[in-house]
Amino acid sequence: MGETRARGRGGRRRGLGGITATATLLVAAVGVLAGAVTVAGDDGTGGHRSGTGAVEGSRSGPEPSGRSSSARPAQPPSGRAAAGAAGRLYRHEGAQVVAWVRAHRDDPRRPLIASRIAARPAAVWFTDPRPWAVTARVRAVTSRAGDRVPVLVAYAIPNRDCGGPSRGGAPHLAAYAQWIKRFAAGLGSREVVVILEPDAVALADCLSPGERSRRFAALARAGAVLKRANPAARVYHDGGHSGWHRAERQAAALRRAGAASAASSDGVFTNVSNFHRTAAEVAYARRVLTALGGPRGLGAVIDTSRNGNGAPADGRWCDPAGRRLGRPPTLRTGEARIDAYLWVKLPGESDGCRGRPGTFSPGYAYDLARG
């Protein structure tokens, strides 16, 4: 997973690779990349950044195993460091990029990929729609994170990606309700960020009016289930991106999906698996939040994983050339109403043009790291 297609103005995200339950067993064997490299710089300016290997769901690689790893984390927990240096975000050792770095010690691309991508915290995707498996897989991540903050992507909505490359999800909304309940059961009681169903709101135009209404109601219920299960969880809803719908239109749909209620939402996410520059996304996210209304504490998180050079002028979305890593993940942005810059899409995991969707491409990762 790690990507969905973003239709409408400004291109798309991209399709998932479809995770299987058996593939999750590979994750337990992945070791730890020692050390974390701090790389400074903004998107579009000097310097490269990178994201840590997080396991994504169908969009990007196998989901975490339900078993906790016995390996020691590459970075010690940062304890209770105040509101958010990048070190507070959890770096998942089960990512495909981490496995590649460990297995290719003599590859000349390894140092750059290791320091600029594998050493960064990134999201963990959950896309297998079977309810029986998800609790243990979520708990394996949240328990391993300790005092650090994991970023989890819930991605199992029925008719996911409207039949596109990331197609799949639960068979129907009743099954999805059970899946979300089991997902929530693994959240624990510590701080955690949940990215709730990329594209589920912005890409809902393929549904009939009745189907949209039922999906939005299901998303509102899902947010409430997550918040009740762990009051420390921060739940963000699908805000699309700055090159897609108008902010007012997106906000109207988000309101129907529960994003304006403190009982089911902490705000919105934007730019997941896309390439739009951070400044454009900050401005767009604020417009969405203003139009959305709701509690003043609602904020936004922005996927900056691959937006260092902005979106391609020709609108290409599938592993486009000439892109580079964006701002490093952090919970401290210095921007009003912007809660975090996150690496939701894992850099180097294919959109489907440089490998099967969701599989790690060292060539693509190296290109992003070089910029």
* Tens-digit pLDDT profile for residues 198-209: 999 999 999 999
**Planar angle of CA 58, 163, 346, nearest 5 degrees:** 30
Residue 334: which residues within 8 A CB-CB, separation 6 or more?
Answer: none
Residues 32-57: what's their mean pLDDT?
Answer: 31
State the greatest distance between any 2 C-alpha atoms of the chain, in Å, as a whole number. Answer: 56
Flag whether pLDDT at 147 surpasses 70. Answer: yes
Residue 354 DSSP code: S
Catalytic residue check, 351? yes
How many whole angstroms separate alpha carbon 44 and alpha carbon 304?
11
Report percent pLDDT > 70 for the chain: 77
One-letter amino acid for residue 130 of the chain: R
How many whole angstroms separate alpha carbon 114 and alpha carbon 92?
14
Q: Which helix (H) or strand (E) holds 278?
A: helix 278-292
Catalytic residue check, 199? yes
Q: Per the residue annotation, which of 128, 199, 339, 367 is the catalytic one?
A: 199
Flag whether pLDDT at 30 surpasses 60. Answer: no
- Per residue in 229-253, pLDDT (tens digit) is 999 999 999 999 999 999 999 999 9
Q: Per the residue annotation, which of 128, 238, 351, 367 is the catalytic one?
A: 351
pLDDT at residue 59, rounded to an integer? 56
Residue 165's pLDDT band (cuts 50, 70, 90): confident
Flag whether pLDDT at 28 surpasses 60. Answer: no
Q: Is the pTM of this model over 0.95?
A: no
Q: Per the residue annotation, which of 43, 161, 319, 367 is the catalytic one?
A: 161
Flag whether pLDDT at 82 surpasses 50. Answer: no
Residues 26-46: what's their mean pLDDT?
Answer: 32
Catalytic residue check, 319? no
One-letter amino acid for residue 89 of the chain: L
How many whole angstroms separate alpha carbon 174 and alpha carbon 76?
40
Task: Answer left, alpha or beta for residue 85, where phi above 0 means left and psi between -120 and 50 means alpha.
Answer: beta
